[in-house]
Amino acid sequence: MNKITINGGRITLDDIISVSRNGAAVEIGAEAAAKITACADYVARLVEDDRVVYGITTGFGEFSKVRISREDTADLQRNLIISHACGIGDNLPVDAARAMLFLRINSLAKGVSGIRLATLQVLADMLNRGVTPAIPEKGSLGASGDLVPLAHMVLPAIGLGEAYFENELMQGGQAMKRAGITPVSLTSKEGLALINGTQAMTAIGALALYDGLNFAKLCDIAAGLTMEALEGITDAFAPELHQLRPHPGQIAAAKNILKIVSGSECTRRQSPEHVQDAYSLRCIPQIHGASKDALDFVAQKIDIEINSVTDNPIIFMDDDNAISGGMFHGQPVALAFDFLAIALAELANVSERRVERLVNPALSRLPGFLTAHGGLHSGFMIAQYAAAALVSENKVLCHPASVDSIPSSANQEDHVSMGTIAARKARDVLFNASRVVMIELICAAQGIDLNERTKGKNLGAGTAAAYSLVRKVCDKLGDDRELYVDFNKVAALIDGNDIVDAVENVIGRL
């Protein structure tokens, strides 16, 4: 099993995937351990000296005005976790919960948060031994950190809450016992250090981004397949054209389409008879490219966030100071996650328009609704309905969460980011968008089969690989059948990234 050593340095999006989905182990390196221990010792001295420091010798939020005695500092931290575990709704997927643990460990390993090494090691043990906290997905305002979901993340570490172990949901203390992990008793600053942070929104958003980057490649592949079915004009993708408006994503999308359809005998060049295609084909580089650039922007923000300290207060031992700031506020990534949802939704919007061109006999020379027996059979008529429903739902989901704010904690926390809602919406938009493109893939394959003018001609190198994989699980439609069965089979290919992998194996990395 792969192992990732955390030393307070930089982790990557690929590291998150390795830990959250592929079971890579985590270890806290010696360099980080030394910094963690030194900071925890410093916090212990602050308590011993009865210094006034937020969240260590005071209450939280509006209760920051209340002094806490040395004798009560441990109870303060435990009570914080218990009282803040107010989550609602379905539990987050296991990969998101594991990503949260990993990101929180990495942030605390910077050695400026005051947590003990032994406490942080319990979180690492949970990851390594397969104890995954059950974390309700709703309840975070995304401002004083993801207080609610992070509190649920911590509950099993103190023997409470619920957790998944060996594919079974059980009481948190039971999961820890079965995994051979002794729950921890929190001490000064530790509860606050564990839950003041943006790791819920960042974990959910990072996973959506990773999948979205692959999804953007899939969209290029699906568009290429539609180009084959509709005999699309390739001149619109010429490199010299896009160098005149050199947005990186636009250039990349145009290059991808030409690679995907390379060698095709079904696409065509512009001519007096065929001057230009509709926007949903001709403007693929501009539309897909804009989303690619947006994804790159989100990736930059996530790279900063996953390698940042996001709790409060921050301990500066060399200056003998603890600064109470707002590092936990989710606004820097909340805006990015709203942008992520919009970028993904636009890829689906134009995909649905290509589906319409495939099924509408007024917009192509293919049989109406991609059936040879129209009237008696409906073909893919309602498949386009389903795609339209999904893109319409995405338009609702793309209303930005980050423009909303509700004051909390008696107006002490008077602006909040709603970043976790933004991240969850982006995840949901991605799911819908992937199913729209699934429909395009199936319809494009059907269009290729029904196009009498190109029958027997070669597809491009990339489109041939995609077509072959779709046809491996989903036969050409003759008489009407239950299309959801086909949908589920092609959706499984998308979720496993099989189509992108198959195309890249033939034409290289997109």
Question: For residue 13, is it within any domain?
Answer: yes
Q: Are 269 and 345 in the same domain?
A: yes
SS in 3 state form for 325-372?
Answer: CCCCCCHHHHHHHHHHHHHHHHHHHHHHHHHHHHHCCCCCCCCHHHCC
Question: For residue 48, is it within any domain?
Answer: yes
- 48-90 tens-digit pLDDT: 877 877 767 776 666 667 776 777 777 888 998 999 999 999 9
Residue 51 exposure: Cα atoms within 13 Å on the Cβ side: 17
Question: For residue 333, is it within any domain?
Answer: no
Q: Are 189 and 222 in the same domain?
A: no
Q: Are 155 and 256 in the same domain?
A: no
Is 54 assigned a catalytic role?
yes
Residue 441's contacts (CB-CB under 8 Å, 6 or more residues apart) are 221, 222, 225, 466, 470, 490, 499
Q: Are 228 and 115 in the same domain?
A: no
| Sites in the chain below the pLDDT cut of 50 | none
Residue 388: CATH number of its domain: 1.20.200.10
Q: Are 142 and 70 in the same domain?
A: yes
Choosing from 179, 197, 215, the residue where a domain stops is: 197
Q: Are 179 and 34 in the same domain?
A: yes
pLDDT at 74: 78
Q: Are 422 and 484 in the same domain?
A: yes
- 281-329 tens-digit pLDDT: 999 999 999 999 999 999 999 999 999 999 988 999 999 888 989 999 9
Is 0.75 topped by the overall pTM? yes
Question: For residue 33, is it within any domain?
Answer: yes
- 452-466 tens-digit pLDDT: 999 999 999 999 999
Q: Are 189 and 226 in the same domain?
A: no
Nearest to 443 by CA among 502, 375, 363: 363
* The one catalytic residue among 42, 54, 467, 484: 54
How many C-beta neighbours within 10 Å does residue 389 have? 14
Domain around 373: 205-309+341-507
Q: Are 32 and 59 in the same domain?
A: yes
Q: Are 90 and 142 in the same domain?
A: yes
Q: Which two tokens stand for residue 50?
A: 């009865």
